[in-house]
Structure 1
Amino acid sequence: MSSTEPAPAPAPAPWHAAYPAPQATGGEITREEVLELLKTVPLDKRDFVLVDLRRNDFEGGTIRGSVNLPAQSLYPTLPTLYALFKSAGTKKVIFYCGSSKGRGSRATGWLADQIEKDNFDGMKSLALVGGIKGWAGAGGEYVEWMDEYDEKVWKKE
């Protein structure tokens, strides 16, 4: 690079850089455990909620009954979400994204921080091991429990 060429622009900061890193780690839950919950607990009796954190990569379907709360908007709304979950008697909040290693683990930690701050032991913040990719990749009964499942999307993986 010559002295007359401008320096390359620095890479933009990741979306989560605007928020503090979680202090807690939360827990994990396997797809087998989540499938069992879905199969055995009627929708009107559920004390758990599935949260799909994907925003731009939401194609291919989602686990049945999930709510979509993109990770990029989660942190500022967390106190309100926590209060809603707590007042509803939610015992498990299960977060997932593509792999649950980035957005999923970060969201799990943020909610776990909120739970610890409130000194509340009636709720667990959990990340779905393997995320939606692991769920869809397991095939069979797992994809039967997906809304808007599109096999073509998962064949690209």
Structure 2
Amino acid sequence: ARAAAAAFEAALAASVPPPVIAANRMQVSQLQATNVLGQNTPLIAQFEAQYGEYWAQDAAAMYSYAGQSASASKVTPFQKAPQVTNPSGQVAQSAAVSTATANSTSTNTTKALQSLAQPASSSTTATKAATTAASTTSTDPLSEIWFLL
């Protein structure tokens, strides 16, 4: 923004001020109005040449301004963002998930087979516990009344 502002200031300083141009044009108009016998023709030519120089000076200032503002308004391109991911990461993730699933499946299968094998041995233990509990209970008639109430 500062470069664009500096370019504008330079162009404004290099161009001919509008009041000077207006004074030139007014002088030419007055000379043409009083040029009855052609006596003002050399002065009119001189002011017209001066006006042409104003145009050349203003055109050069604007051409310079256009170049400076174009270079000032160029946007510097962004740098490419650094790569923060691993391109083969999805493949590695998929392989890890497959391995974890396979390990989980084999572990669950082993546990299921072990639990299927244990009920036969635990049922014999439960039967022994039930018979032991039944044999230790008393056959007191009063204890039976409590169950009826």
After TM superposition, the score normalised by the length of structure 2 is 0.22
- Structure holding more helix per residue: 2
- Structure holding more strand per residue: 1
